[in-house]
Structure formats: structure tokens, C-alpha cells
Structure 1
């Protein structure tokens, strides 16, 4: 599997797993708990596949950075979490950091 595709799947899986954490109610509800475990399991598996062709630092920065931004947006849409101006600035800085690492760094794959 292509490393970048695996990274995309890892991000989506992590966002799904994290989104289900609140619904799992401390792992007391079986279906949301299953979504959490499956989401994180798939996310880490795909992240490990990603590191075959993408430098681990870059892969993790993209995975965690975009995951953080997407989770904040999901929390806003599903759970009514308020996103104030500073939250948006913080998310923009995360995305900017990921872009700098991705576009300007000369880190080799191996």
C-alpha cells in the first residue's frame, strides 16, 4: 500500500476512534467501545505501514497534527464544543507546522 494512502487511512481511523471515546462513556457502552478499539488498532497499523516509505517524524507530525484539527472540528460539529478565535489560531499553527515540515524539510525517507 502507498505510504501516503496508509497515512490518510490512519488519520481517518484515529479520528473515528477518538470521536467514539465520548460515546463509549468510559468504555461502559460496547458498540462505541468497539469503534474506539478498532479505530485505534487500524490507525496504528496503518501508521506502521506509512513509516515504510515516509519518515517517521514527518508521518507522526501529519498524523497527530491533522488528527488534532479534525477532532476539534468533529467535537464542534457533534458535541457542540466551542471553537474560539484562539482555538482557530492554534489549529492554523498546527497545520502551518505540518506544511513547513512537509514542504520545506529535506528529511530523507531512510
Structure 2
């Protein structure tokens, strides 16, 4: 269970870092740039700890899937980015794909 917590915090770190990239304006603003650097550092460190017991295929699917969904939602809420019905369909398919991999697939035992 501890490794899933590491993965969850890693995802939050990655989402915070990715969201701060826009505010860093190409690394020309110091504080958002520091958030990016620290966020990715925390994210990759905790991902490496999570991979001690979570198969990489499962961890990366959860990491990428949730990261994409959360960053899209943050872009929509905080940066005024528009999401149309196709975007929401795509987000739903990503969530569905991660769920299928985790709940039904036998290719990666966990």
C-alpha cells in the first residue's frame, strides 16, 4: 500500500510541475521554474520508489493516465483552456483504458 501512496504523490508532483510550466514562461520566471524543478524531482524520485513493487506497466499507465486527465482539468479550470466534447470523450477513454489495464488485464500481475 505504501508504494501506491508513493505513486499517488508522484502523480501530484508531476501534475503540479507540468501545470507550473505554463506559468514559468519558458523558465524566465524564477518561482514557477523552481516549482517545475522541485515537482519533477519529487515525482521521479517517488515514482522510482513505487516501482519497487508496482509493475512498471501498471505504474506508468496510472501515472500517465491520471496525469493527462488532471492536467487537462487544471488547464480548463485555471488557464481557461477549452475542452470540447471530443476532449471529454478522450479523457473518458484514457480513464477506461487505465481501469481495464488495472482491473482486467493479466499481462502484468500485481
Alignment TM-score, normalising by the size of structure 2: 0.96
Q: Once superposed, what is the RMSD of the aligned Cα atoms?
A: 1.0
- The alpha carbon displacement at 1:108 in A equals 2.2
**Alpha-carbon offset, residue 39 of structure 1:** 0.5
Gaps of 5+ in 2: none
Cα distance in 1 between the residues matched to 2:27 and 2:86: 31
Q: Where do 4+ consecutive residues of structure 1 move more than 6 Å? A: none
Q: How many equivalent pairs are there? A: 109
Question: What does 1:1-110 correspond to in 2, within 5 Å?
Answer: 2-106=2-106, 107-109=108-110
In the alignment, the residues of structure 2 paired with residue 45 and residue 90 of structure 1 have an alpha-carbon distance, to the nearest angstrom, of: 29
Distance (whole Å) between structure 1 residues aligned to residue 38 and residue 61 of structure 2: 22
